[in-house]
Amino acid sequence: MFELKPCPFCGSADAPRLYARHGKDGWHDRYMVICDYEDGGCGSGSGWYTTDYEAVDCWNRRKLMTSDEVITALMDLRDEFVAKQPRSEWYKDKTAQGVEKGIELCIEKVREIANEVR
Ligand SMILES: [Zn+2]
């Protein structure tokens, strides 16, 4: 038997279930873990996989990122993007500056939402 971790979205330990779909030949051909509404879950799912093992493995590795982790990931993305731009062209390239500004706005927005939640 597989052990399913609690839902990363609603925290339910009882609602997550492994479901199998029957293919045309009558055998199970796709598997998905679903946080079942019927058991008080939130309805999120792992997505369909060709083996039960993959569906369970995917489900058990999902985790929500904290706002700090999201901000760090966005900062890394911005730094990586800036580092790839040719330095001499940087101030002339409005598109590159626009992308950097867009990432900055995302970081600000995540901070704003995180502060509202706290
Ligand atoms: Zn859930």
What is the predicted pLDDT for the residue at 43? 93
Q: Around 38, how many Cα atoms within 13 Å sit in the side-chain half-sphere?
A: 2
Q: What is the pLDDT of residue 86?
A: 77
Q: Residue 38's pLDDT is what?
A: 93
**Measured in angstroms, how far is the CA atom of residue 39 from the centroid of ligand 1?**
10
Contacts of 64 (CB under 8 A, 6+ apart): 8, 9
pLDDT at residue number 115: 86
Per-residue pLDDT at 91:
63
Domain boundaries, the chain: 16-61, 67-117
Average pLDDT of each block of 10 consecutive residues along the chain (118 residues)? 88 94 85 94 92 93 82 92 77 80 93 81
CA 30 – CA 72 distance, rounded (Å): 36
CA 86 from centroid of its chain's CA atoms? 32
Ligand 1 centroid to residue 89 C-alpha, Å: 48
Q: How far is the CA of 6 from the centre of ligand 1 (A)?
A: 8
Give pTM, 2 decimals: 0.56
Phi, psi of 10 (to 5 degrees): -110, -10
Residue 7 Cα, ligand 1 centroid: separation in angstroms? 5
Distance between Cα 96 and ligand 1 center (Å): 39
Query: Residue 18: helix, strand or coil by DSSP?
Result: strand
Query: Would you give the DSSP letter of residue 88?
Result: G
Helix axes 94-117, 67-84, angle to 10 degrees: 170
What kind and span of H or E run contains 31? Answer: strand 28-35
